Chains A and B, each alone.
Chain A
């Protein structure tokens, strides 16, 4: 793994995501969510192969209510791609690695 996935919280969201120089993929997840756990290995893989281009972070919505509230998240897994502090794309539900790669590549 080149970069790995950084765990962020409500306090570090601004610094790590909104102020990031690189685009960021935020994985909003919770321990109770089966599909979230299921796509976790896929995100680890992508963090390994695409970690130089884009930062991968995850946010536990169970412990951090503010950030998911701000982005009106009512469904997880939700993946949000941020570019220049703005939401570039929001993906709700399970997604294949190929589809996610394709979406990420649209940013460049």
Chain B
């Protein structure tokens, strides 16, 4: 076997990356986890998690991250705060190039860099970012006490976080482009029963405007083409995610939307390189599925190492 610094390098420290790290550390692999900012990923901004088994009362995203991280520490997983700039697969031993100029050589890689909230791409969105436009209900909800908020989306995140926002806001318009929600039924039931939530069906936000802060959103009904303005103090956007895949080269096959294609063993188009969690092309993006992906990816990495 040729020389490498590591058996396995895990890129990304969300639930998938931390789980891969836990399993790899327990398998006594020579492993390191690289995280660009700090462990957690998207669950850091999740108010309350009720569908991850083992927590009958639910658990906050921040606390779940803390627990997952503590668990990896118990098995001495090294976690390094660094950014990956590119991957080099020209030799059998893979090279990871870091933004600070460093290089790591490894036999296998698990890519678990996850996804980030998608933007609307409408006028005003950038300008009012941090001035009423937000992607994090738990962070910014309390700034909107007794105010009116527009929330955009129809999936689990949009519906659950809208519900959370009604703890503070006087009213939440939940704007969705279709005539039904995609969110879990139990979340839908709560939203429909909440007097502070008004559904705006078949509609898209076309503009966010105001002076220094958000004051209104323009909403277009996609069926009638009618537009109207809603007077709001904030606009929270939860319309899905896009993959954190900027550092990937051409060799790793991706869907047209950028998510990584794998087989059922989490193997990508490059042998010895695996993907797990939200970065993967998968019908469901949940903590539970990310964790499952990661366990399979580590087992596949071990199999690959044995074959060398």
Which chain A residues have a beta carbon within 8 Å of chain B's beta carbons? 30, 32-39, 41-42, 62, 72-78, 90, 92-98
Say whether, besides A34-B138, A76-B139, A98-B100, A42 and B81 are in contact (CB < 8 Å): yes
Contact A75 B129 (CB under 8 A): yes
7 contacts between A and B (CB under 8 A): A33-B138, A38-B62, A72-B212, A73-B143, A74-B132, A96-B36, A98-B82
Contact B143 A74 (CB under 8 A): yes
Contact B138 A98 (CB under 8 A): no
Q: How many A-B contacts at CB < 8 Å in the complex? A: 85
Say whether, besides A42-B37, A77-B139, A90 and B83 are in contact (CB < 8 Å): no
CA distance A76 to B136 in the complex (A): 9
Q: How far is the CB of A62 from chain B (nearest CB, A)?
A: 7
CA distance A97 to B82 in the complex (A): 8
New A-B contacts (4) at CB < 8 Å, excluding given A36-B139, A76-B140, A94-B44: A34-B60, A39-B37, A42-B37, A93-B136
Contact B143 A34 (CB under 8 A): no
Q: How far is the CB of A85 from chain B (nearest CB, A)?
A: 20
Residues of B within 8 A of A35 (CB): 40, 44-45, 136, 139
Contact A72 B40 (CB under 8 A): no
Residues of B within 8 A of A76 (CB): 139-140
Contact A74 B131 (CB under 8 A): yes
Residues of A within 8 A of B234 (CB): 74
Q: How far is the CB of B247 from chain A (nearest CB, A)?
A: 13
Judge if B86 is at the interface, Cβ distance under 8 Å. no
CA distance A73 to B44 in the complex (A): 20
Contact B142 A32 (CB under 8 A): yes
Contact A74 B140 (CB under 8 A): yes
Q: How far is the CB of B94 from chain A (nearest CB, A)?
A: 22
Contact B36 A78 (CB under 8 A): no
